[in-house]
Amino acid sequence: MGMPAGKNVVHVIEGGKPPPRLALDGICVNFDGVPAVQDLTLDVGAGELVCLLGPSGCGKSTTLRVAAGVERQTSGRVFVDGSVVSDERVHAPPEARSVGLMFQDFALFPHLTVAENVGFGLRKGVGAAERAATVTDYLRRVGLSGYERKYPHQLSGGEQQRVALARALAPRPRVMLMDEPFSGLDNRLRDEVRDESLSILKEEGAGVLLVTHDPDEAMRMSDRIALMREGRIVQVGAAYHIYNYPKDRAAAAFFSDLNVIHGVVNDRQTDTPFGLFLTPGLVDGADVEIIVRPQHLKVTADKGQAPALSPDDGIAARGRVVRARFVGAQSLIEVAMDHDGQVLRATVPHAWLPEAGAPVWLSMRRDRCFVFPCAQQSRVATPYAAAAE
Ligand SMILES: Nc1ncnc2c1ncn2[C@@H]1O[C@H](COP(=O)(O)OP(=O)(O)OP(=O)(O)O)[C@@H](O)[C@H]1O
Protein backbone atom coordinates (compact mmCIF):
# COMPACT_ATOMS: atom_id res chain seq x y z
CA MET A 1 0.00 0.00 0.00
CA GLY A 2 1.00 3.60 -0.41
CA MET A 3 3.57 3.24 -3.17
CA PRO A 4 3.68 6.46 -5.18
CA ALA A 5 2.59 6.42 -8.78
CA GLY A 6 5.43 6.06 -11.21
CA LYS A 7 7.58 3.64 -9.19
CA ASN A 8 6.28 0.69 -11.12
CA VAL A 9 5.61 2.19 -14.47
CA VAL A 10 3.93 0.26 -17.23
CA HIS A 11 3.31 2.15 -20.41
CA VAL A 12 0.37 1.13 -22.53
CA ILE A 13 1.06 3.30 -25.55
CA GLU A 14 -0.21 1.64 -28.68
CA GLY A 15 0.77 2.64 -32.17
CA GLY A 16 2.36 5.92 -31.03
CA LYS A 17 -0.94 7.23 -29.65
CA PRO A 18 -0.76 9.00 -26.31
CA PRO A 19 -2.15 6.77 -23.57
CA PRO A 20 -5.58 7.56 -22.17
CA ARG A 21 -5.70 9.78 -19.12
CA LEU A 22 -7.37 6.95 -17.19
CA ALA A 23 -7.49 3.28 -18.09
CA LEU A 24 -9.32 0.64 -16.07
CA ASP A 25 -8.32 -2.84 -17.14
CA GLY A 26 -10.29 -5.92 -16.11
CA ILE A 27 -11.40 -4.47 -12.78
CA CYS A 28 -13.19 -6.84 -10.42
CA VAL A 29 -14.32 -5.90 -6.93
CA ASN A 30 -15.84 -8.40 -4.51
CA PHE A 31 -17.29 -7.48 -1.15
CA ASP A 32 -17.31 -10.55 1.10
CA GLY A 33 -17.20 -12.72 -1.97
CA VAL A 34 -20.11 -10.91 -3.63
CA PRO A 35 -19.13 -9.28 -6.92
CA ALA A 36 -19.86 -5.53 -7.10
CA VAL A 37 -17.79 -4.86 -10.25
CA GLN A 38 -16.99 -7.55 -12.78
CA ASP A 39 -14.25 -7.47 -15.40
CA LEU A 40 -14.70 -3.79 -16.15
CA THR A 41 -12.47 -2.28 -18.83
CA LEU A 42 -12.81 1.36 -19.80
CA ASP A 43 -10.59 4.26 -20.73
CA VAL A 44 -11.00 8.02 -20.70
CA GLY A 45 -8.99 10.19 -23.08
CA ALA A 46 -7.57 13.68 -22.53
CA GLY A 47 -10.37 16.23 -22.60
CA GLU A 48 -12.96 13.45 -22.72
CA LEU A 49 -15.92 13.14 -20.37
CA VAL A 50 -17.22 9.62 -19.87
CA CYS A 51 -20.32 9.01 -17.77
CA LEU A 52 -20.85 5.82 -15.83
CA LEU A 53 -24.61 5.49 -15.97
CA GLY A 54 -26.75 2.85 -14.39
CA PRO A 55 -29.33 2.01 -11.74
CA SER A 56 -28.65 2.16 -8.03
CA GLY A 57 -26.30 -0.55 -6.82
CA CYS A 58 -24.87 -1.44 -10.24
CA GLY A 59 -21.30 -0.64 -9.16
CA LYS A 60 -20.73 2.90 -10.49
CA SER A 61 -19.41 4.43 -7.27
CA THR A 62 -17.27 1.40 -6.53
CA THR A 63 -15.66 1.75 -9.97
CA LEU A 64 -14.97 5.41 -9.31
CA ARG A 65 -13.55 4.67 -5.89
CA VAL A 66 -11.19 2.13 -7.44
CA ALA A 67 -10.05 4.74 -9.98
CA ALA A 68 -9.51 7.21 -7.13
CA GLY A 69 -7.60 4.70 -5.03
CA VAL A 70 -9.90 4.84 -2.01
CA GLU A 71 -11.03 1.29 -2.76
CA ARG A 72 -8.64 -1.45 -3.86
CA GLN A 73 -9.86 -3.77 -6.58
CA THR A 74 -9.87 -7.52 -6.07
CA SER A 75 -8.15 -7.87 -9.44
CA GLY A 76 -7.39 -5.75 -12.48
CA ARG A 77 -5.21 -2.72 -13.12
CA VAL A 78 -5.60 1.06 -13.06
CA PHE A 79 -3.44 3.34 -15.21
CA VAL A 80 -3.13 7.13 -15.18
CA ASP A 81 -1.46 8.57 -18.27
CA GLY A 82 -0.09 5.14 -19.13
CA SER A 83 1.51 4.49 -15.74
CA VAL A 84 0.14 1.79 -13.51
CA VAL A 85 -1.17 3.22 -10.25
CA SER A 86 -2.74 0.02 -9.01
CA ASP A 87 -2.36 -3.65 -9.78
CA GLU A 88 -1.70 -6.76 -7.71
CA ARG A 89 1.63 -5.33 -6.49
CA VAL A 90 1.29 -1.55 -6.56
CA HIS A 91 -1.38 0.60 -4.97
CA ALA A 92 -0.80 4.34 -5.11
CA PRO A 93 -2.92 6.37 -2.67
CA PRO A 94 -5.30 8.99 -4.09
CA GLU A 95 -2.91 11.90 -3.49
CA ALA A 96 -0.22 10.21 -5.60
CA ARG A 97 -2.46 9.57 -8.63
CA SER A 98 -3.01 13.07 -10.02
CA VAL A 99 -6.75 12.65 -9.70
CA GLY A 100 -9.22 15.33 -8.68
CA LEU A 101 -12.19 14.14 -6.68
CA MET A 102 -15.63 15.67 -6.53
CA PHE A 103 -18.01 13.45 -4.67
CA GLN A 104 -21.60 14.04 -3.65
CA ASP A 105 -20.66 14.37 0.01
CA PHE A 106 -17.35 16.07 -0.64
CA ALA A 107 -18.21 19.12 1.45
CA LEU A 108 -16.07 22.23 1.72
CA PHE A 109 -14.20 22.73 4.97
CA PRO A 110 -16.56 25.02 6.89
CA HIS A 111 -13.83 26.64 8.99
CA LEU A 112 -11.70 27.59 5.98
CA THR A 113 -12.30 30.54 3.68
CA VAL A 114 -13.08 30.03 0.01
CA ALA A 115 -9.45 30.83 -0.85
CA GLU A 116 -8.16 28.36 1.74
CA ASN A 117 -10.53 25.70 0.49
CA VAL A 118 -9.42 26.15 -3.12
CA GLY A 119 -5.74 26.27 -2.12
CA PHE A 120 -6.05 23.17 0.06
CA GLY A 121 -4.99 20.62 -2.53
CA LEU A 122 -2.06 22.60 -3.93
CA ARG A 123 1.39 21.19 -3.31
CA LYS A 124 2.96 22.18 -0.02
CA GLY A 125 6.02 23.63 -1.78
CA VAL A 126 4.01 26.19 -3.74
CA GLY A 127 4.93 29.71 -2.63
CA ALA A 128 2.35 32.10 -1.17
CA ALA A 129 2.23 34.36 -4.24
CA GLU A 130 1.84 31.49 -6.68
CA ARG A 131 -0.79 29.90 -4.43
CA ALA A 132 -2.80 33.13 -4.27
CA ALA A 133 -2.53 33.59 -8.04
CA THR A 134 -3.73 30.04 -8.70
CA VAL A 135 -6.65 30.44 -6.30
CA THR A 136 -7.64 33.75 -7.91
CA ASP A 137 -7.38 32.23 -11.37
CA TYR A 138 -9.60 29.24 -10.55
CA LEU A 139 -12.15 31.36 -8.71
CA ARG A 140 -12.35 33.58 -11.79
CA ARG A 141 -12.87 30.56 -13.99
CA VAL A 142 -15.79 29.32 -11.93
CA GLY A 143 -17.28 32.84 -11.86
CA LEU A 144 -16.48 33.60 -8.22
CA SER A 145 -13.88 36.37 -8.43
CA GLY A 146 -13.77 38.32 -5.18
CA TYR A 147 -15.14 35.48 -3.05
CA GLU A 148 -11.73 34.66 -1.54
CA ARG A 149 -12.48 35.76 2.02
CA LYS A 150 -15.99 34.39 2.32
CA TYR A 151 -16.79 31.23 4.27
CA PRO A 152 -18.81 28.31 2.86
CA HIS A 153 -21.90 29.11 4.97
CA GLN A 154 -22.08 32.53 3.27
CA LEU A 155 -22.49 30.93 -0.17
CA SER A 156 -25.47 29.49 -2.01
CA GLY A 157 -25.51 25.81 -2.90
CA GLY A 158 -24.46 26.53 -6.48
CA GLU A 159 -21.60 28.75 -5.33
CA GLN A 160 -20.38 26.08 -2.93
CA GLN A 161 -20.44 23.57 -5.75
CA ARG A 162 -18.37 25.88 -7.91
CA VAL A 163 -15.84 26.34 -5.10
CA ALA A 164 -15.64 22.54 -4.84
CA LEU A 165 -14.98 22.40 -8.58
CA ALA A 166 -12.25 25.06 -8.31
CA ARG A 167 -10.72 23.17 -5.40
CA ALA A 168 -10.68 19.92 -7.37
CA LEU A 169 -9.22 21.58 -10.47
CA ALA A 170 -6.60 23.85 -8.90
CA PRO A 171 -3.92 21.14 -8.57
CA ARG A 172 -4.43 20.49 -12.33
CA PRO A 173 -5.24 16.79 -12.05
CA ARG A 174 -4.91 14.61 -15.13
CA VAL A 175 -8.09 12.80 -14.19
CA MET A 176 -11.26 14.20 -12.60
CA LEU A 177 -13.51 11.74 -10.83
CA MET A 178 -17.01 13.02 -10.09
CA ASP A 179 -19.72 11.08 -8.26
CA GLU A 180 -23.19 12.62 -8.67
CA PRO A 181 -21.54 16.02 -8.17
CA PHE A 182 -24.61 18.08 -9.02
CA SER A 183 -27.27 16.06 -7.24
CA GLY A 184 -27.56 18.46 -4.31
CA LEU A 185 -28.65 21.37 -6.51
CA ASP A 186 -32.15 22.34 -7.55
CA ASN A 187 -33.07 21.92 -11.22
CA ARG A 188 -32.35 25.43 -12.42
CA LEU A 189 -29.01 25.72 -10.62
CA ARG A 190 -28.05 22.23 -11.66
CA ASP A 191 -28.29 23.03 -15.37
CA GLU A 192 -26.30 26.21 -14.91
CA VAL A 193 -23.52 24.71 -12.76
CA ARG A 194 -23.38 21.61 -14.94
CA ASP A 195 -22.91 23.57 -18.14
CA GLU A 196 -20.32 25.89 -16.60
CA SER A 197 -18.44 22.96 -15.11
CA LEU A 198 -18.45 21.14 -18.40
CA SER A 199 -16.87 24.01 -20.27
CA ILE A 200 -14.18 24.46 -17.60
CA LEU A 201 -13.42 20.75 -17.54
CA LYS A 202 -13.08 20.75 -21.33
CA GLU A 203 -10.70 23.69 -21.17
CA GLU A 204 -8.54 21.91 -18.61
CA GLY A 205 -8.06 18.83 -20.81
CA ALA A 206 -8.33 16.38 -17.92
CA GLY A 207 -10.00 13.03 -18.52
CA VAL A 208 -13.29 13.06 -16.62
CA LEU A 209 -15.16 10.04 -15.30
CA LEU A 210 -18.54 11.08 -13.94
CA VAL A 211 -21.01 8.85 -12.13
CA THR A 212 -24.69 9.50 -12.51
CA HIS A 213 -27.96 7.62 -12.45
CA ASP A 214 -29.65 10.40 -14.42
CA PRO A 215 -29.79 9.65 -18.17
CA ASP A 216 -30.49 13.29 -19.03
CA GLU A 217 -27.38 14.39 -17.18
CA ALA A 218 -25.33 11.69 -18.92
CA MET A 219 -26.62 12.69 -22.35
CA ARG A 220 -26.13 16.35 -21.67
CA MET A 221 -22.58 16.12 -20.36
CA SER A 222 -20.82 13.11 -21.80
CA ASP A 223 -18.72 12.42 -24.84
CA ARG A 224 -19.38 8.75 -24.19
CA ILE A 225 -21.70 6.90 -21.87
CA ALA A 226 -20.76 3.58 -20.28
CA LEU A 227 -24.04 1.95 -19.33
CA MET A 228 -23.64 -0.38 -16.33
CA ARG A 229 -25.77 -3.16 -14.97
CA GLU A 230 -24.98 -5.62 -12.19
CA GLY A 231 -21.32 -4.68 -12.02
CA ARG A 232 -20.67 -4.85 -15.74
CA ILE A 233 -20.57 -2.39 -18.59
CA VAL A 234 -23.33 -3.46 -20.97
CA GLN A 235 -22.83 -0.82 -23.66
CA VAL A 236 -20.44 2.06 -24.33
CA GLY A 237 -20.93 4.80 -26.88
CA ALA A 238 -21.95 8.35 -27.62
CA ALA A 239 -25.36 9.32 -26.26
CA TYR A 240 -26.86 9.34 -29.75
CA HIS A 241 -25.62 5.83 -30.39
CA ILE A 242 -26.84 4.31 -27.13
CA TYR A 243 -30.20 6.06 -27.37
CA ASN A 244 -30.82 5.00 -30.94
CA TYR A 245 -29.09 1.61 -30.96
CA PRO A 246 -29.74 0.20 -27.48
CA LYS A 247 -28.30 -3.22 -26.90
CA ASP A 248 -31.40 -4.59 -25.27
CA ARG A 249 -34.75 -3.62 -23.86
CA ALA A 250 -33.32 -2.60 -20.49
CA ALA A 251 -30.78 -0.32 -22.18
CA ALA A 252 -33.59 1.29 -24.18
CA ALA A 253 -35.74 1.62 -21.05
CA PHE A 254 -33.02 3.45 -19.18
CA PHE A 255 -33.47 6.54 -21.35
CA SER A 256 -37.23 6.83 -21.68
CA ASP A 257 -40.56 5.25 -21.16
CA LEU A 258 -41.20 2.48 -23.70
CA ASN A 259 -44.13 0.85 -25.44
CA VAL A 260 -43.73 -2.88 -25.93
CA ILE A 261 -45.74 -4.67 -28.58
CA HIS A 262 -45.56 -8.45 -28.53
CA GLY A 263 -45.51 -10.59 -31.64
CA VAL A 264 -44.68 -14.07 -32.84
CA VAL A 265 -42.34 -14.88 -35.72
CA ASN A 266 -43.85 -16.60 -38.70
CA ASP A 267 -41.74 -17.27 -41.77
CA ARG A 268 -38.99 -14.84 -40.68
CA GLN A 269 -41.40 -11.98 -40.17
CA THR A 270 -43.69 -10.75 -37.44
CA ASP A 271 -47.13 -9.42 -38.22
CA THR A 272 -48.64 -6.75 -35.99
CA PRO A 273 -51.57 -4.34 -36.26
CA PHE A 274 -48.89 -1.73 -37.07
CA GLY A 275 -47.60 -3.67 -40.06
CA LEU A 276 -45.20 -6.42 -40.83
CA PHE A 277 -41.69 -6.48 -39.33
CA LEU A 278 -38.91 -8.50 -40.84
CA THR A 279 -37.37 -10.70 -38.13
CA PRO A 280 -34.73 -12.73 -39.93
CA GLY A 281 -32.62 -15.10 -37.88
CA LEU A 282 -35.46 -15.94 -35.52
CA VAL A 283 -37.22 -19.28 -35.65
CA ASP A 284 -40.92 -19.65 -36.31
CA GLY A 285 -42.91 -19.37 -33.11
CA ALA A 286 -40.29 -17.20 -31.34
CA ASP A 287 -41.77 -14.40 -29.23
CA VAL A 288 -40.49 -10.96 -30.09
CA GLU A 289 -40.90 -7.55 -28.54
CA ILE A 290 -41.22 -4.52 -30.75
CA ILE A 291 -40.16 -1.52 -28.73
CA VAL A 292 -41.06 2.06 -29.51
CA ARG A 293 -40.53 5.22 -27.49
CA PRO A 294 -43.61 7.44 -26.88
CA GLN A 295 -42.18 10.23 -29.06
CA HIS A 296 -41.94 7.85 -31.99
CA LEU A 297 -45.62 6.95 -31.97
CA LYS A 298 -47.60 9.26 -34.19
CA VAL A 299 -51.15 10.19 -33.15
CA THR A 300 -53.73 11.26 -35.74
CA ALA A 301 -57.30 12.27 -34.95
CA ASP A 302 -59.87 9.87 -36.45
CA LYS A 303 -61.71 11.65 -39.24
CA GLY A 304 -63.65 8.55 -40.31
CA GLN A 305 -60.91 6.71 -42.14
CA ALA A 306 -57.33 5.55 -41.58
CA PRO A 307 -54.79 8.28 -42.27
CA ALA A 308 -52.63 8.08 -45.38
CA LEU A 309 -49.14 7.17 -44.23
CA SER A 310 -45.72 6.94 -45.81
CA PRO A 311 -44.14 3.47 -45.89
CA ASP A 312 -41.84 4.64 -43.06
CA ASP A 313 -44.85 4.85 -40.77
CA GLY A 314 -46.20 1.35 -41.50
CA ILE A 315 -49.89 0.84 -40.84
CA ALA A 316 -52.02 2.89 -38.48
CA ALA A 317 -53.99 1.07 -35.78
CA ARG A 318 -57.02 2.58 -34.11
CA GLY A 319 -57.68 3.16 -30.45
CA ARG A 320 -59.45 5.46 -28.02
CA VAL A 321 -57.88 8.08 -25.81
CA VAL A 322 -57.76 7.03 -22.17
CA ARG A 323 -56.13 10.18 -20.87
CA ALA A 324 -54.26 13.17 -22.24
CA ARG A 325 -52.03 15.46 -20.16
CA PHE A 326 -49.95 18.49 -20.91
CA VAL A 327 -46.44 17.87 -19.52
CA GLY A 328 -44.37 20.95 -20.26
CA ALA A 329 -43.10 21.08 -23.81
CA GLN A 330 -45.28 18.18 -24.93
CA SER A 331 -48.57 16.36 -24.45
CA LEU A 332 -48.72 12.77 -23.27
CA ILE A 333 -51.61 10.84 -24.76
CA GLU A 334 -52.55 7.36 -23.53
CA VAL A 335 -54.51 5.28 -26.00
CA ALA A 336 -56.27 1.92 -25.49
CA MET A 337 -55.95 -0.02 -28.73
CA ASP A 338 -59.10 -1.39 -30.36
CA HIS A 339 -57.41 -4.67 -31.34
CA ASP A 340 -56.28 -5.83 -27.91
CA GLY A 341 -57.03 -3.14 -25.33
CA GLN A 342 -53.32 -2.53 -24.66
CA VAL A 343 -52.67 1.03 -23.52
CA LEU A 344 -49.89 2.71 -25.49
CA ARG A 345 -48.32 6.06 -24.59
CA ALA A 346 -47.51 8.65 -27.21
CA THR A 347 -46.11 12.13 -26.86
CA VAL A 348 -46.71 14.96 -29.28
CA PRO A 349 -44.47 18.03 -29.22
CA HIS A 350 -47.26 20.57 -28.68
CA ALA A 351 -50.39 21.10 -26.61
CA TRP A 352 -53.10 18.73 -27.77
CA LEU A 353 -55.52 17.27 -25.26
CA PRO A 354 -58.11 15.12 -27.00
CA GLU A 355 -61.02 14.08 -24.78
CA ALA A 356 -61.11 10.67 -23.14
CA GLY A 357 -62.90 8.27 -25.48
CA ALA A 358 -61.96 10.18 -28.65
CA PRO A 359 -60.95 7.80 -31.48
CA VAL A 360 -57.41 8.25 -32.77
CA TRP A 361 -55.00 6.40 -35.04
CA LEU A 362 -51.53 5.41 -33.90
CA SER A 363 -48.64 4.61 -36.19
CA MET A 364 -44.97 4.14 -35.44
CA ARG A 365 -41.80 5.57 -36.85
CA ARG A 366 -40.51 2.25 -38.12
CA ASP A 367 -36.93 3.47 -38.30
CA ARG A 368 -37.17 4.16 -34.57
CA CYS A 369 -38.47 0.76 -33.48
CA PHE A 370 -36.27 -1.90 -31.95
CA VAL A 371 -37.03 -5.56 -32.31
CA PHE A 372 -35.69 -7.94 -29.66
CA PRO A 373 -36.31 -11.61 -29.11
CA CYS A 374 -38.26 -11.98 -25.85
CA ALA A 375 -36.33 -14.66 -24.02
CA GLN A 376 -32.77 -13.53 -24.51
CA GLN A 377 -32.44 -9.79 -24.52
CA SER A 378 -28.86 -9.38 -25.59
CA ARG A 379 -29.07 -8.97 -29.30
CA VAL A 380 -27.98 -5.63 -30.65
CA ALA A 381 -31.07 -3.94 -31.97
CA THR A 382 -31.05 -2.18 -35.25
CA PRO A 383 -33.57 0.54 -35.84
CA TYR A 384 -36.19 -1.15 -37.86
CA ALA A 385 -35.75 -0.38 -41.53
CA ALA A 386 -39.05 -0.05 -43.33
CA ALA A 387 -40.28 -3.49 -44.23
CA ALA A 388 -42.69 -4.53 -46.92
CA GLU A 389 -46.28 -4.37 -45.81
N1 LIG B 1 -18.00 -1.18 1.35
C2 LIG B 1 -18.90 -2.05 0.90
N3 LIG B 1 -19.11 -3.23 1.52
C4 LIG B 1 -19.99 -4.13 1.05
N5 LIG B 1 -20.75 -3.95 -0.05
C6 LIG B 1 -20.60 -2.78 -0.71
C7 LIG B 1 -19.67 -1.78 -0.28
N8 LIG B 1 -19.74 -0.74 -1.15
C9 LIG B 1 -20.66 -1.07 -2.07
N10 LIG B 1 -21.17 -2.29 -1.82
C11 LIG B 1 -22.18 -3.00 -2.62
O12 LIG B 1 -21.68 -3.06 -3.95
C13 LIG B 1 -22.73 -2.85 -4.88
C14 LIG B 1 -22.39 -1.66 -5.78
O15 LIG B 1 -22.43 -0.48 -4.99
P16 LIG B 1 -22.12 0.94 -5.61
O17 LIG B 1 -22.19 1.94 -4.50
O18 LIG B 1 -20.88 0.88 -6.39
O19 LIG B 1 -23.35 1.13 -6.61
P20 LIG B 1 -23.85 2.44 -7.37
O21 LIG B 1 -24.14 2.01 -8.75
O22 LIG B 1 -22.86 3.53 -7.20
O23 LIG B 1 -25.17 2.77 -6.60
P24 LIG B 1 -25.84 4.21 -6.23
O25 LIG B 1 -26.25 4.84 -7.53
O26 LIG B 1 -27.02 3.82 -5.38
O27 LIG B 1 -24.80 4.99 -5.49
C28 LIG B 1 -23.99 -2.68 -4.07
O29 LIG B 1 -24.65 -3.90 -4.01
C30 LIG B 1 -23.48 -2.25 -2.72
O31 LIG B 1 -24.37 -2.64 -1.70
List the chain domain ranges.
22-250, 258-373
- The residue among 166, 121, 101, 119 whose CA lies nearest residue 140 is 166
Ligand 1 centroid – CA 59 distance (Å): 6
Residue 113 in contact with ligand 1 by CB distance below 6 A: no
If you average pLDDT over residues 61-83, what whole number do you get? 96
Residue nearest to atom 30 of ligand 1 (CA): 57
% of the chain residues with pLDDT over 70: 92
Residue nearest to atom 28 of ligand 1 (CA): 57
Residue 352 in contact with ligand 1 by CB distance below 6 A: no
Residue 54 in contact with ligand 1 by CB distance below 6 A: yes
Q: Tell me which of 28-32, 257-261, 312-316, 376-380 is least confident.
A: 376-380
Residue 231 in contact with ligand 1 by CB distance below 6 A: no
Tell me, what's the pLDDT at 387?
A: 36
258-373 folds as OB fold (Dihydrolipoamide Acetyltransferase, E2P) (2.40.50)
Q: Tell me which of 300-304, 327-331, 333-337, 373-377 is least confident.
A: 373-377
Tell me, what's the pLDDT at 375?
A: 57
Atom of ligand 1 nearest to the CA of 37: 14
- Average model confidence (pLDDT) across the chain: 87
- The residue among 367, 256, 359 whose CA lies nearest residue 299 is 359
Please tell me which residue, 185 or 8, carries the higher pLDDT value: 185
If you average pLDDT over residues 337-348, what whole number do you get? 95
If you average pLDDT over residues 2-8, what whole number do you get? 41
Backbone φ and ψ for 319, nearest 5 degrees, come out as: -155, -175
Ligand 1 centroid – CA 76 distance (Å): 18
If you average pLDDT over residues 247-269, what whole number do you get? 92
* Banded model confidence at residue 139, pLDDT cuts 50, 70, 90: very high
Instruction: Answer for the pair 83, 6: CB distance below 8 angstroms, yes or no.
Output: yes
Range picked from 8-12, 103-107, 283-287, 342-346 for highest mean pLDDT = 342-346
pLDDT above 70 (res 382) = no
Atom of ligand 1 nearest to the CA of 64: 18
- The residue among 287, 291, 204 whose CA lies nearest residue 254 is 291
CATH entry 3.40.50.300 includes domain 22-250: yes
ipTM of the complex: 0.95
Give the integer Cα–Cα distance in Å for 91 and 372.
43
Tell me, what's the pLDDT at 13?
A: 52
Please tell me which residue, 68 or 10, carries the higher pLDDT value: 68
Tell me, what's the pLDDT at 281?
A: 83
* Banded model confidence at residue 193, pLDDT cuts 50, 70, 90: confident
Ligand 1 pocket mutation pick from 29, 51, 53, 58 by most atoms within 8 angstroms of CB: 58
Q: Tell me which of 69-73, 166-170, 187-191, 202-206 is least confident.
A: 187-191
Residue nearest to atom 29 of ligand 1 (CA): 57
Q: Tell me which of 170-174, 318-322, 351-355 is least confident.
A: 170-174
Ligand 1 centroid – CA 168 distance (Å): 24
Give the integer Cα–Cα distance in Å for 375 and 206.
42
